[in-house]
Structure 1
Amino acid sequence: MGVVRTDKWLEKKFDDPVEICQVFMETFGEKKPANIYHYLMRFGMYRPNRRTYEEYKKLLELNCWETAERIFQKYRKKWKGLDIPVYIFPAAASNSFFDNGKSEKSGVAFKDKLFLFIPPLEDEKEIEALIVHEYHHTCRLNRQKKHIKDFTLLDSIVLEGLAEHAVAVYCGSSYQAKWCDYYTKKEISKYWKQFLQKNLEVKKNEKLHDEILFGNKGYPNMIGYAVGCEMIAMFNEKYKLTANDTFILESDLFLTVMD
């Protein structure tokens, strides 16, 4: 399917994203579109307001949907991945005073679909980095033997680290996520032993999983992601990962480089 022309949906229903989310009820197995919208907002989907509307118009000017389709098809062929639907929406505007409300790109990946939340980006490589990261998730999820409901904290850490490794390989390390550089190697080692090592088997559906992964409830910010990035970098330095390796190798194997 590739990139769905959600710009046409937005043209008619920008002010009612809940109504837009009715389209996704079957694929999510959800009867209330408001629940889908609130779920997607957690990952960066826009709220309708003047700023996000202006950003939507800018995305049209930048031919964002056409660009994303070209990039998606490039990696679908390169990785021999599934031809899944890709849904693009404007990114949520930040509430932070310090970044002047600048929106950040983000997304959420599933085995059978992708959602990308994109601010106006002049640099096409930024869009490519987002697609590489999220579509890498989809490809790995489809080639792992484990069902997503059985994923553990270790699986999630490895999943995120491998996706950012792919960004470095295909787009360059300067396009990797900010959280890759949040901590020094010494700090990573410390937090690994203090917070993560004893909780690697925590299941995805347990609260502790996301608290550690994202760094909530007193845990260091984005610590699960940052550890994943460092873990994969260390593994690649020692063993030189191929693209296929990043999809098929089981999570436990990456523990060999951690003290």
Structure 2
Amino acid sequence: MKKLILFFILFLYGCSDSTLEFEKNNYDNVQEFNIISGFEYIPRFISEIEESGNKKTTSAFKEIVIKPIWDDCFNDGEYLPLLNNYMESENHNIEKLLDLKNEYDNSNLDDIVKRALEESSNLLVGTSTNVCILPSDSYNNPSKAVTVGKGKIVLFYNEILFESDEEISSTIAHEYFHSVNTESDTNFTLLDYILFEGKAEYFKKLVYPQSEAVPIDPSKEEHYWDLVNDILYSENYTTQQKIMFGGGDYPPLYGYGLGYRIMDEFIKKNPDIGINEWKTMKAEDILNMSDYFDN
């Protein structure tokens, strides 16, 4: 295995004070990483809102916080619609934003993200990657992170989203896999969606073996599978969301747990197939080459 040389260039010319830039060189490929904070723009946003007295803050937030980082964080993102709810939020909590900025300024979040990117790219080399950190001042936004597209990850920050530094690291690993393995075709079947997340969950566990996969009650696993087996090729959005995130007969994040279980069985049966091969394999092939049906 070729020796990895890590070298870091902090606050390069052309970067704002909110950007941490570093590179990783493995001789064959140089990956550039940028950690970009939207918190830099929060004081100006708050001043604008307080001066105008406007309680609906959507346009001001987009203009002051989102626009300066648009090209780096969002432009041409294949999965940009996933951020619609966040972008269109009308009422930002000013007091909460101030508290979050103070917490972020006194945290080591950038260091955690930087280390997670290094450790993830040890296993899977990808393109240049930007991680953009944004405040999550509404508890109606449960997302911890979103892959906006190839090389573009958004990490949300508030005091209850993550229970530990390790959970932040494993979340970055999960999203890093997505950013490397972004698909231009977003017309997923349910099975595609299950393995899309299952691959990322399995990669997360490769980078951080101590991280937790979404559990599935063993006594009910066959029951759940019987329910979902006949609709694996559904492209219905509502059906997919219910199974992936839980609802009705399905437990929370069932689709994520199922995807990980299928990947785990696949790797046990096919240990010689490496990441660079299975990351692009079709979901149906992975399912058929696993022992999930039997186990």
Range into which the TM-score falls when normalised by the shorter chain: 0.7 to 0.9
In the other structure, the counterpart of 2:124 is: 79
Partners of 1:82 and 1:139 within 8 A in 2: yes
- What is the total number of aligned residue pairs between the two structures? 236
More deviation in 161-170 or 104-113?
Answer: 104-113
Q: Deviations over 1:168-209 (max 9, x none)?
A: 221123x225xx12x223322211111x21221122x63322
Give the Å deviation of 1:131. 0.6
If the length of structure 2 is used for normalisation, what is the TM-score? 0.66
Which structure carries more helix by proportion?
1
Out of 126, 130, 150, the residue aligned to residue 111 of structure 1 is 150
Q: Does 1:59 align with 2:104?
A: yes
Give the Å deviation of 1:135. 0.9
2:128 maps to amino acid: D
More deviation in 211-220 or 153-162?
Answer: 211-220
Q: Distance in 1 between matches of 2:122 and 2:217?
A: 36
Aligned runs of 1:1-16 on 2, under 5 Å?
1-13=33-45, 16=60
Aligned runs of 1:160-199 on 2, under 5 Å?
160-173=197-210, 175-177=211-213, 180-181=214-215, 183-194=216-227, 196-199=228-231
Q: Distance in 2 between matches of 1:37 and 1:13?
A: 20
Give the Å deviation of 1:129. 0.6
RMSD (CA atoms): 3.4
Name the % identity: 21
1:190 maps to amino acid: H
Partners of 1:92 and 1:117 within 8 A in 2: no
Q: Distance in 1 between matches of 2:187 and 2:163?
A: 39
Give the Å deviation of 1:108. 0.9
Aligned runs of 1:210-229 on 2, under 5 Å?
210-216=241-247, 219-229=250-260
Which structure carries more strand by proportion?
2
Aligned runs of 1:1-259 on 2, under 5 Å?
1-13=33-45, 16-19=60-63, 20-23=65-68, 24=70, 27=75, 38-40=84-86, 47-76=92-121, 78-92=123-137, 94=139, 106-109=144-147, 110-120=149-159, 123-141=164-182, 147-173=184-210, 175-177=211-213, 180-181=214-215, 183-194=216-227, 196-203=228-235, 206-216=237-247, 219-240=250-271, 242-256=274-288, 257-259=291-293
Q: Distance in 1 between matches of 2:200 and 2:130?
A: 19
SS state at 1:184 partner: coil
Q: Distance in 2 between matches of 1:201 and 1:122?
A: 35
> Which is bigger in relative contact order (C-alpha 8 A, separation at least 6)?
1
Taking a change above 3 Å as real, the CA distance of residues 190 and 251 of structure 1, as seen in their structure-2 partners, is same
Q: Distance in 2 between matches of 1:233 and 1:77?
A: 21
If the length of structure 1 is used for normalisation, what is the TM-score? 0.74
Q: Higher Cα Rg: structure 1 or 2?
A: 2
